[in-house]
Structure 1
Amino acid sequence: MNFHSFLHHREGTIQKWLKPEDFFNLFPCFVRPIKDELTSSWLYRLAHAHHLKVFTFCRIALNNKTVWNRDIDKCITADLLYYLSIRNNITFSEAFNTTLKSYEGILFNTLNINGGTNWISPLGIYHRTRTRNSLMCCPSCFKECSIIYYKKAWRLSLSTICPKCKVSLIDHCPICKQPIIFHRHDIGNKNKIENSNMASCCNCSFDFRNIIPENVNDRDHQNQVILNELLKGKSHFNLKAPTFFKILRIIIRVLNSRSKFAYPFQKEVFKQMNIRYRPSLGGYENQFEFLNILRRRELLNMSMWVMNHWPNRFININNTSKTGGFIWLNDKNIPIEFEKVIRENIVKLSS
């Protein structure tokens, strides 16, 4: 049974199955995940609600399930999710919606739990630590929220701005430059649970709420608002969300490529946007998910500018720059709608 059929099978059954004797199987403290919360954040809050450190909680309550030396936000099993939902007396869908797998059918077709997936920032796991700046947060949200938690969208490479606070996200500690790894607060200080602060750096204890956030301009903010609406399944530029994200990904690939065949398109985009042209570095270490927040934002803004007034502007840039259609068709994930635009409107299909 796959994840979605499991979801359909389990949905709405928890309250129906709950009998008086089942209360002995419930956790002492119920912690309902916040609507847009990340799985690992929910587990952390659940453990601390029981006055246990996350590693101790997982050892006792989850029967030594391996959690923190893997990407639990995308690798958590359906059985473990169901176990957590039934013991918290919540629906399975509430638990499932904390996972990155819930983006299937919108951001990507299938989440690859054993490797990289487009739009998911890789953690760079080394034992229980992380080597990449893959989890982001908004200092302003931490200041305003009564409950500190990490949002699911903060694991996505297309998230660079908080649409609510209109400020830039951060992906590392500004003091010691270490990645954000909130569960490592529970390492050391054996009897100190209350002092653990999810809004601070696990390495130097700097409180992210003390950061003066970087404001962003209206255009960048609006683009992030559009992306977040698409994540909820809405349509934009006359494109449905799954098709939009596939086309956006292809345009980003070309704008971030060091191929000589991509240069004409890149130069024309920079020219029409009145930006000084800078050749992309390309290569494995410069793929979109590995880039810093500023570079990702730049690529997202350029790509969404290209997609505005779809497909007229895209066609105009291609034909003005005489970019060959083959550079677009050479993608195994090309949507049918995009392929049709290329074949019917791009003047040069081969090199």
Structure 2
Amino acid sequence: MSFNLFETRNNQLLPALCKPFPDELLSSWMARMAYQHGLTTKEMCAYIWPSYSGNPDIDRIVGDANLNILAEKTNCTFAEVNATTMAFYKHVLFAQKNLLYAPEQWIIPSKRIGSKSGYMQHSSGLMFCPKCLESEPYFKKQWRLAISFACTKCGYYLIESCPHCHKGNSFIDVRQPNFAHQSVYEHMVYCHHCGKDVTDCEPEIAPVRVVKTQQLLFEIMEHGLNEKVIYTESYFKVLHHMASLLLIDKQTDRNIKKLAEYVYWENNLSHSDLRPYNDTIVLRDLPVKKRAVVIMLAHWVLQDWPHRFIDLCLTHKVKKSSLLSDFPNAPYWFWEAVRHGLEPSFPAKLDNLKHDNTDTCTVRMKEPCLKRLDYDYDEYFYDDNKYEDDDSDCINPDNIERIQRLYGIDDTRRLRYLFNREECWN
């Protein structure tokens, strides 16, 4: 422990303080300290923060003033304490300036119960990997994220409820612990409802592809995209939108449904257990395995950007309005690909569609990632009336084969057009 506690005389340290682990969640840290003081987590919060309202989601809603108080009482810096909250992921997963007023789409609620809509008939709380929790009895920040679904260290699916009573844990709701007969380790790993050890179970091994996708997403969160200059928060904003499109309900556009079904089929997965839903679906409320499938497929669609995405949309005749109307302030790199990559098939004016232009200078792929015709929309290329005469025999067969391979197009009339355009460019 450092000696900065002697720098101020008014600093009232907690008698049984402890430091948070580097990746520990605030509610987990508070639960450990509360046990050391013989208090429940809620009592501990009320003792430290006079203005504490009893809100159970302290990981998300605690303000800077309370974080400063906690830092003073635990001999920590503000940065150390702030790193235990969901604010740690600002400008990584989301750009909201304040999480107090609106739930973030990538943050799983601290306590969830079954939904009336029928697609979430399960009870869940803080997610965890039983093997990690057994060896290191604390809960990690990343286990509160909807982007998390597997443990990259152990290779198991995360568990979101007690394997014995199937109820979700929340440290704020813990009744008075049995301090006389329970250690702090048992306090952290025993279910708050049935009292059994949540690590005493056989977790389900996640498929290799699921674990690999989880690793890639964590790498993007930490290091950004390797070859693409796109803000991390911007990428995850589009990833969430893409995952939402793959969740089909009765309001889903017909062509979007066809695209989603094809994506499942192409990846040898069944979509029958994910659709249809009667109400609007919220990605973060899905059970962990279903959420893993949807996020993995959304990540697959965004790979090789924008070629795979544009090809899927053109093949299934997805309209621009279906992609942008429910996506206010879409990042510019996504908006631009939709605008120039798809044929205009809806009456709305492009100028009326909102997009986020703040990252315009950083969103372009590094050259030569883009093919010119994928971004430079040409109305002649999509107009069948322009190809009434077919004189493709005049074109060298080698050029036809090269253009077919380059653009993936078999229509000889359009091949002739592309050949003529390339001649002009050269």
- TM category, shorter: 0.7 to 0.9
CA deviation map 1:39-91 (0-9, x unaligned): 11111112223343334433434347334x43111111111100111121111
Gaps of 5+ in 2: 114-121, 348-426
Which stretches in structure 1 are left out of the alignment for 5+ residues? 1-13
When structure 1 is superposed on structure 2, of 271-280 and 312-321 the one drifting more is 271-280
Match of 2:218 in 1: 228
Counterpart code for 1:88:
T
- Post-superposition offset of 1:230: 2.4
Q: Which has the larger radius of gyration?
A: 2
Identity %, equivalent residues? 26
Q: Which moved further from structure 2: 71-80 or 189-198?
A: 189-198
Out of 297-306 and 197-206, give the one that drifted further: 197-206
Structure 1 residue 256: Cα displacement:
0.8
What residue in structure 1 maps to residue 407 of structure 2? Answer: none
Q: CA deviation at 1:176?
A: 1.2
- Equivalent in the alignment of 2:44: 57
- Look up the SS of the partner of 2:294 in the other structure: helix
The offset of 1:153, in angstroms, is: 0.9
Q: Tell me which amino acid in the other structure corresponds to 2:187.
A: N
Cα deviation for residue 231 of structure 1 reads 2.4
TM-score scaled by length of structure 2: 0.71
Counterpart check, 1:98 vs 2:97: no
Q: How far apart, CA to CA, are the structure 2 residues paired with 1:35 and 1:140?
A: 18
Is 1:107 the counterpart of 2:101 in the alignment?
Answer: no
Q: Does 1:170 align with 2:159?
A: yes
Residues 1:315 and 2:310 are matched in the alignment:
yes
Q: Distance in 2 between matches of 1:342 and 1:189?
A: 59
Equivalent in the alignment of 2:61: 75
> What letter is aligned with 1:80?
N
Give the partner amino acid of 1:174: P
Q: Deviations over 1:269-303 (max 9, x none)?
A: 12322334436334556311111011101101111
Q: Deviations over 1:95-152 (max 9, x none)?
A: 00111122121211215423422111123579xxxx952420010102222xx11111
Query: Cα deviation per residue 1:236-261 (whole Å; 9 max; x = unaligned)?
Result: 56243112101101111111132133
Question: Counterpart in 1 of 2:343?
Answer: 347
* C-alpha separation in 2, matches of 1:17 and 1:210: 40
Distance 1:286 1:136 in 2: 20
TM-superposition CA deviations, 1:213-234 (whole Å, max 9, x none): 2111221111101111222252
In the alignment, which residue of structure 2 is the partner of 1:160? 149
Give the distance between the partners of 1:254 and 1:183, measured in 2 at CA: 35
- What SS does structure 2 have at the residue aligned with 1:230? helix
Equivalent position of 1:199 in the other structure: 189
Q: Is the 2:111–2:170 contact (alpha carbons within 8 Å) kept by the matching residues of 1?
A: no
The Cα shift of 1:161 comes to 0.3
SS in 2 for 1:275: coil
Q: Distance in 1 between matches of 2:53 and 2:38?
A: 20
Q: Distance in 2 between matches of 1:302 and 1:221?
A: 13
1:264 aligns with 2:255: no
- State the alpha-carbon separation in 2 of the partners of residues 89 and 150 from structure 1: 21
Query: What pairs up with 1:1-351 in 2 under 5 angstroms?
Result: 18-19=6-7, 21-22=9-10, 25-63=12-50, 65-67=52-54, 69-110=55-96, 111-124=98-111, 132-145=123-136, 148-187=137-176, 189=178, 194=183, 196-236=186-226, 238=228, 239-258=230-249, 259-261=252-254, 262-278=256-272, 280-282=275-277, 284=279, 286-330=281-325, 331-350=327-346
Contact kept, 8 Å, 1:255 with 1:280, in 2: the verdict is: no
CA offset at residue 158 of structure 1?
1.4
Q: Which amino acid aligns with 2:286?
A: L
SS of 2:188 mapped into structure 1: coil
Structure 1, 196-205 or 183-192: larger mean CA deviation: 183-192
1:315, 1:345 within 8 Å by CA — same for their partners in 2?
Answer: yes
Aligned residues: 330
CA RMSD of aligned residues (A): 2.6
Q: What does residue 6 of structure 1 align with?
A: none
Tell me: CA distance 1:292–1:333, structure 2 relative to 1, closer, same or farther (3 Å).
Answer: farther
Kept in 2, the 8 Å contact 1:172–1:180? The answer is yes
Separation in 1 of the partners of 2:190 and 2:111? 20
Counterpart residue identity of residue 129, structure 2: C
The more displaced of 35-44 and 53-62 is 53-62
* Aligned counterparts of 2:124 and 2:344: Cα–Cα separation in 1: 40
Distance in 2 separating the partners of 1:277 and 1:169: 21
Work out whether residues 42 and 173 of structure 2, in 8 Å CA contact, stay in contact via their aligned partners in 1: no
Partner of 1:4: none
